[in-house]
Structure 1
Amino acid sequence: MKTQILFIALFFSALLFSCEKIKDATAVDIETELNASFPISAQNEMAINLKSAEMANDVYAFNGSGTFSLADNNDIKKYIGNIRDIIANEGGVVTFLGAVDGNKILTCKLLFGAETTSGTDPAMTTAFTLPQEILADAGKIEYFSDSWTSIFINALEANKDKTFRLKIEGTANYDINTTVRVKVPVTVKASPL
């Protein structure tokens, strides 16, 4: 009887070990981009004493917000329940479209939060605060940085099935009314089993 119990225990242990090996063998690495686009607009012209005569005298406060979810990404939505790891790759960028020569983003802050309770605003975390002004180039203004993407990815891994709210706010030297695109290249490690 003891031999049968030992044999059954060994059989189930081998079966469980085999299942883990099969999961590891069928794991996939998906190279994709997490993308969000949302509108922003100037809220008002601000009267600010600027110390530099080279800067424009008009400063416009802007803000906008949008949502993002892993389920929005066609490459990974079928694996959401089986994601093992999300790794941020180089190339994180925030792009302001429709800029012309002379346009500048003077200040900017990107915030995010997971909507954990329906109908309740999420607690927002600052992803980044722009360290310096950025100028228009070829019809857009872009902020390239990977320093903030790991903060965002950590929150995303902890809330894979949640919708995230993204909010951007700042100041510009023009009456900004455009679309902002946020892009984070990632490798998603998932198991289809």
Structure 2
Amino acid sequence: MKNYMFLFVGLIGILFGSCEKIKEATEIDIETELTTDIPVSAQNTVAIILKSENLAKDVFSFGGDATFSLADNNDLEEYINNIRNITSEAGGVVSFLGAVDGNKILTCMLKYGIQTSPDIEPAMITAFDISEELLANNGLIEYYSDLWTSILIQEIEANKDKVFLLELAGTSNYDIETTVKIKMPVTVSASPL
């Protein structure tokens, strides 16, 4: 009887070890972009005093928010429950659409929070806070950085099944009413089993 018990335990160990090896052997890498659109609009005119102690002209505060989930990505929807790893790749960008020459983003802050319950506002964490001017070029105002994307991707990987709230706020020199596109290139390792 003891021999059968050892044999049974040994077979169970081999079975579980083999399943993990099969999952590793069938693992695939998916190169995709995690994207979201945030509608933003000017909320009010802001009086900003310049270093010369003169009042700045045409300064508007803006804001907007959106939600994001891995399940929103068509490349990943069938693998959501089998994601093993998410790696941030170079090329993270925040793009303000519809800008014209002379438009500037004066300050910009992106915050994110993990929604654990629809009734409770999540604690917000700052992804980036820039105070340098971003200038319009070919109809876009863009901010390129991979520093903040890797931190946000780590949070997304740790909370694959959660919805993230994204809040964007800042100041501009124009009465902004546009869509801001956020793009984060990633490689996702998943097992179809």
TM-score by structure 1 length? 0.95
Q: Distance in 2 between matches of 1:76 and 1:174?
A: 38
- What does residue 118 of structure 2 align with? 118
138-147 vs 8-17, which moves further: 8-17
- What does residue 162 of structure 2 align with? 162
Contact 2:28 2:190 in 1 (8 A): yes
Q: Distance in 2 between matches of 1:30 and 1:23?
A: 16
Q: Can you list the C-alpha shifts for 1:93-141, whole angstroms capped at 9, x where unaligned? A: 0000000011110000000111111221111110001141110000010
Q: Residue 123 of structure 2: SS of its match in structure 1?
A: coil
- What does residue 91 of structure 1 align with? 91
Q: Residue 186 of structure 2: SS of its match in structure 1?
A: strand
Contact 2:39 2:65 in 1 (8 A): yes
Contact 2:115 2:121 in 1 (8 A): yes
Superposition pairs of residues 5-154 of structure 1, within 5 angstroms: 5-51=5-51, 57-154=57-154
Per-residue deviation, 1:56 = 5.8
| 2:137 pairs with 1:171 | no
Q: Residue 147 of structure 2: SS of its match in structure 1?
A: coil
Q: Distance in 2 between matches of 1:168 and 1:52?
A: 29
Contact 2:106 2:131 in 1 (8 A): no
Contact 1:59 1:174 in 2 (8 A): yes
Q: Please identify runs of 4+ aligned residues in structure 1 that moved more than 3 A.
A: none
Q: Distance in 1 between matches of 2:174 and 2:123?
A: 30
**What number of residue pairs does the alignment pair up?**
193
5+ residue gaps, structure 2: none
TM-score by structure 2 length? 0.95
Tell me: CA distance 1:56–1:49, structure 2 relative to 1, closer, same or farther (3 Å).
closer
